[in-house]
Structure 1
Amino acid sequence: MNKLLKITWYACLALLAGCIEPYDPKVDNREINLLVVDGFINTSGVTTIKLSRAQTLTTKGGPPPETRAVVFIEEEGGRRYPLTEGAAGTYASAPLQLTPGRPVRLHLTTAGRREYASDYSRALVTPPIDSISFRAGEGKLRLYVNTHDALDQARHFRWSYEETWEFTSRFESQLMYRNNALVPRTDNIYRCWGSELPSTIVLGNTLRLSRNVVAEQPLTVLLDTSPKLFIKYSVLVRQYAVTPEEYAYWELLRKNTEQLGTLFDPLPSQLTGNVRSLSDPAEQVLGWVGAQSMTEQRRFIDRNDLPAGWPLVSGYEGCPLDTIPKPKVFPEPTLEEIIRSFSFGMMVPISYNLTADEYYYSTVDCLDCRKRGNNARPSFWR
Structure 2
Amino acid sequence: MKNSSVKLLGWVLILLVGGCVDPYRPPEIASPASYLVVNGFFNSAPGTTTTIQLSRTQNLTDPKAPTAESKATVTIESAHKDIYTLKEGTVGSYTLTGVTPVASETYRLHVKTTAGSDYYSDYVPVLTTPPIDSITFHPDNEGLQINVNTHDPKNNTRYYRWEYDQTWEYFSEFNSAFEIVNNKIVDRTQSVLQCWGSENSSNIITSSTTRLSQDVVSQFPLIHIPSYSIKLGSKYSILVRQFALTQAGFDYYDQLAKITQSIGSIFDPQPSQITGNIHSQTNTSDLVLGFFRVGSIETKRIFIRKSQLPGWYTNNGLGTCDIDTLGAGDILKEQPGIINLYIPGLYLTTPLPCVDCRLRGGTIQKPSFWE
Class of the TM-score when normalised by the shorter of the 2 chains: 0.7 to 0.9
**Aligned residue number for residue 190 of structure 2:** 187
**Aligned residue number for residue 328 of structure 1:** none
CA pair 99-125 structure 1, distance change in 2 beyond 3 A: same
Pairwise CA distance, 1:318: 3.6
Pairwise CA distance, 1:54: 1.1
Native 8 Å contact 1:252 1:269 kept in 2: no
Q: Residue by residue, what CA displacement relative to the aligned partner does 1:197-216 show, whole Å, maximum 9, x if unpaired? A: 12111111111111111101
CA pair 123-261 structure 1, distance change in 2 beyond 3 A: same
CA pair 22-363 structure 1, distance change in 2 beyond 3 A: farther
The RMSD of aligned alpha carbons is 2.2
**Aligned residue number for residue 32 of structure 1:** 33
Pairwise CA distance, 1:89: 1.6
Supply the AA of the counterpart residue of 1:198: S
Q: Residue by residue, what CA displacement relative to the aligned partner does 1:144-187 show, whole Å, maximum 9, x if unpaired? A: 01001123221100001111111112222111223554332111
**Aligned residue number for residue 232 of structure 1:** 235
**Aligned residue number for residue 42 of structure 2:** 41
Supply the AA of the counterpart residue of 2:101: L
Native 8 Å contact 2:76 2:107 kept in 1: yes
Counterparts of 1:343-362 in structure 2 under 5 Å? 346-354=335-343, 358-362=346-350
Match of 2:315 among 307, 313, 328: 313
SS at match of 1:123: strand
Matched pairs, number:
349
CA pair 211-35 structure 1, distance change in 2 beyond 3 A: same
User: What is the CA–CA distance in structure 2 between the aligned matches of 1:21 and 1:142, rounded to whole Å?
Assistant: 45
Pairwise CA distance, 1:99: 1.4
User: What is the CA–CA distance in structure 2 between the aligned matches of 1:158 and 1:21, rounded to whole Å?
Assistant: 42
CA pair 33-300 structure 1, distance change in 2 beyond 3 A: same
Given the alignment of the two structures, is residue 290 of structure 1 paired with residue 278 of structure 2, yes or no?
Answer: no
Given the alignment of the two structures, is residue 118 of structure 1 paired with residue 121 of structure 2, yes or no?
Answer: yes
**Aligned residue number for residue 106 of structure 1:** 109
Pairwise CA distance, 1:287: 1.1
User: What is the CA–CA distance in structure 1 between the aligned matches of 2:101 and 2:56, rounded to whole Å?
Assistant: 29
**Aligned residue number for residue 368 of structure 2:** 379
Pairwise CA distance, 1:76: 1.6
Pairwise CA distance, 1:279: 1.8
Supply the AA of the counterpart residue of 1:76: A
CA pair 318-29 structure 1, distance change in 2 beyond 3 A: same
Gaps of at least 5 residues in structure 2 are 1-20
User: What is the CA–CA distance in structure 2 between the aligned matches of 1:229 and 1:61, rounded to whole Å?
Assistant: 34
SS at match of 1:251: helix
**Structure 1 vs Structure 2: percent identity of aligned residues?**
39
Which range is displaced more, 156-165 or 171-180? 171-180
Native 8 Å contact 1:135 1:141 kept in 2: yes
Q: Residue by residue, what CA displacement relative to the aligned partner does 1:93-114 show, whole Å, maximum 9, x if unpaired? A: 2154211231011111112221
Match of 1:254 among 254, 257, 271: 257
User: What is the CA–CA distance in structure 2 between the aligned matches of 1:70 and 1:190, rounded to whole Å?
Assistant: 48
**Aligned residue number for residue 216 of structure 1:** 219
Supply the AA of the counterpart residue of 2:189: T
Taking structure 2 as the reference length, the TM-score comes to 0.88
CA pair 162-29 structure 1, distance change in 2 beyond 3 A: same
Native 8 Å contact 1:101 1:124 kept in 2: no
Taking structure 1 as the reference length, the TM-score comes to 0.85
Gaps of at least 5 residues in structure 1 are 1-19, 326-334
